[in-house]
Structure 1
């Protein structure tokens, strides 16, 4: 007997995009799941007593003081053991972590924890979408910056100058409303037709 139908459905379920985080590194957007969320998903799907985590190796690969800052980098390997009925499933993952902080002890602590968390996520990822096994996670190039919107400068009116309203599509005619016949277009005195006479209906007077 392996995983239960409920566990299989949870492992195959589509990853909720609300749980995906992103950060920018070297001109690329990296998508990832936070370590606490991955562990919480393992407890929810496998049960609190249904899985174990074992750190097989944790090695400091870089350590240096730069000015008043302390830098460290670690590489770790983690083994995940899941009990599925009578079966025992073992997966392993490797990860790395780094730190740049104000004290040497904190630098090693932060880097070692980051490497162990990264290795844990990589090992659990092989179980399904709930742990980040999805094509949407990974790195992608940053989109090109959008051009700034063009600002259209409108001519300012002189002091005391009244705003002139033009008619529809520059015809020099204003739109007047007649409650009985709807909108009507009436020629203005400055119409383009020489000698034209303005005619106003009785209803619009």
Structure 2
């Protein structure tokens, strides 16, 4: 953990505008720091063990309007999440000094595709982190909110010129690439088929943890926090997961339990849920909806998709 005096010295330094990126929203150019830059800056100033970020509630989803494109309408969803950041440093007497900064992040999508919703959820968490960090000053981009600041003016000038702050610096020296061999159409199709077959073989049977990863991603996207039991064994819901869209072993019985809000930070303490007949059917429909983008839903029979209230 770093000394607080050294931390304050670093926080007072000017922002390196070469780290700033820009994007166009309509006719407006918006400067911003990427999430990885903010994390690297926090690690540099506070040390890897000198700061943390904690969600202060679940991800919320709101329908905010209708998006029209090519005469097609789709619902626009906005995801939000509040977070709290804590920063620590050592005072001269050896005591630990802590400050806390929090904010709410948001991100939207009008796509019906599940991966887009997952990206929106991830984006709102990153936005919450960056908005919390900006309270610490210019090292975390606070100066970019002031259109009259020198940093803002420098970034806009570089963006208008198409150079500098709008992109990360990369080497202009091109690497020599080996000559590519020409491939016949038949060989290309054969190689594509082999690659596709190998990918299906690699994901045809997944472990209970990987199955939970699938369920967790869909649960987050549809605001259905879950804890589950697989083959009679309680398994903690992971904090994250990979999107898996291939077939998985259909011989697995899955029992669904509610993940109580009060136990959100203690997922080991799982309380079983005893549904009525109607609620049981709703849970079954919810699981099928969560797994709609996988082949599992079509593979499982009602008996195999065992959704009960406990054993």
Query: Normalised by the size of structure 2, how large is the TM-score?
Result: 0.40
Name stretches of at least 5 consecutive residues in structure 1 with no aligned partner.
146-205
Pick the aligned partner of 1:78 from 55, 78, 83. 83
Q: How does 1:111-130 map to 2 (within 5 A)?
A: 111-130=120-139
Superposition deviation, residue 132 in structure 1? 0.6
2-structure distance, mates of 1:54, 1:17: 28
Q: Say which SS state the counterpart of residue 62 (structure 1) adopts.
A: strand
1:74 and 1:90, CA in 2 relative to 1: closer, same or farther beyond 3 A?
same
1:101 and 1:135, CA in 2 relative to 1: closer, same or farther beyond 3 A?
closer
1:100 and 1:4, CA in 2 relative to 1: closer, same or farther beyond 3 A?
same
Is 1:132–2:137 an aligned residue pair? no
Residue 72 of structure 1 contacts residue 107 of structure 1 at CA under 8 Å; is this kept in 2? no
Residue of structure 2 equivalent to 1:88: 98
Superposition deviation, residue 109 in structure 1? 1.1
Residue 3 of structure 2 contacts residue 89 of structure 2 at CA under 8 Å; is this kept in 1? yes
Q: Say which SS state the counterpart of residue 56 (structure 2) adopts.
A: strand
Query: Normalised by the size of structure 1, how large is the TM-score?
Result: 0.59
Superposition deviation, residue 107 in structure 1? 2.4
Superposition deviation, residue 39 in structure 1? 0.8
Q: How many residue pairs were aligned? A: 141
2-structure distance, mates of 1:33, 1:118: 10
Superposition deviation, residue 21 in structure 1? 0.8
Superposition deviation, residue 113 in structure 1? 0.9
Residue 78 of structure 2 contacts residue 109 of structure 2 at CA under 8 Å; is this kept in 1? yes
1:113 and 1:8, CA in 2 relative to 1: closer, same or farther beyond 3 A?
same
RCO higher in structure (CA 8 A, sep ≥6): 1
* Structure in which a larger fraction of residues adopt strand: 1
Is 1:43–2:48 an aligned residue pair? no
Moved more, 60-69 or 3-12: 60-69
Is 1:17–2:13 an aligned residue pair? no
Output one character per residue of 1:164-185: Cα deviation in whole Å (capped at 9) or x when no partner: xxxxxxxxxxxxxxxxxxxxxx
* Structure in which a larger fraction of residues adopt helix: 2
Name stretches of at least 5 consecutive residues in structure 2 with no aligned partner.
91-95, 161-311
Residue 22 of structure 2 contacts residue 32 of structure 2 at CA under 8 Å; is this kept in 1? yes
1-structure distance, mates of 2:131, 2:119: 18
Residue 63 of structure 2 contacts residue 75 of structure 2 at CA under 8 Å; is this kept in 1? no
Larger radius of gyration: 1
1-structure distance, mates of 2:120, 2:146: 23
1:25 and 1:128, CA in 2 relative to 1: closer, same or farther beyond 3 A?
same
Residue 30 of structure 1 contacts residue 137 of structure 1 at CA under 8 Å; is this kept in 2? no
Superposition deviation, residue 61 in structure 1? 1.2
